[in-house]
Amino acid sequence: MFVYGTLMKGELHHTTMAHARFVRATETGPEYDLVQIDYYPAMLVGGSHRVMGELYEVDDPTLARLDRLEEVPDYYERKTITLADGTEALAYVMPRERAAGSSPIPSGYFRMRTAPPSAS
């Protein structure tokens, strides 16, 4: 499972990944857009950016919990994607029309979604 937002280490919903095995940090090819919906991001198919995230091995019970959290198939869709190194992985993507009005995350990295604090 490729995760790129609140499921990553240190993020709000990472505890849902408690039984998953971390494989490595990785990224997608330049075929997606990453946007900020509310406190969470969405990866959109058909863009031109790389999305950075983490790859995990998940068991069936964890996958079922993730599907419930991500409201599959009503909100996110679980799809097989190809990572930059050619590895295939499952990921949660959002239909582009559902993300209308969202804010782009041009870096493709959820943790860089906000500007750094000012020096003053």
The residues assigned a catalytic role are 70
For the chain, how many helices (H) and strands (E)? 1, 8
User: 23 vs 9, 11, 20, CA distance in Å?
Assistant: 12, 17, 9
Calpha distance 48→44 (Å, rounded): 10
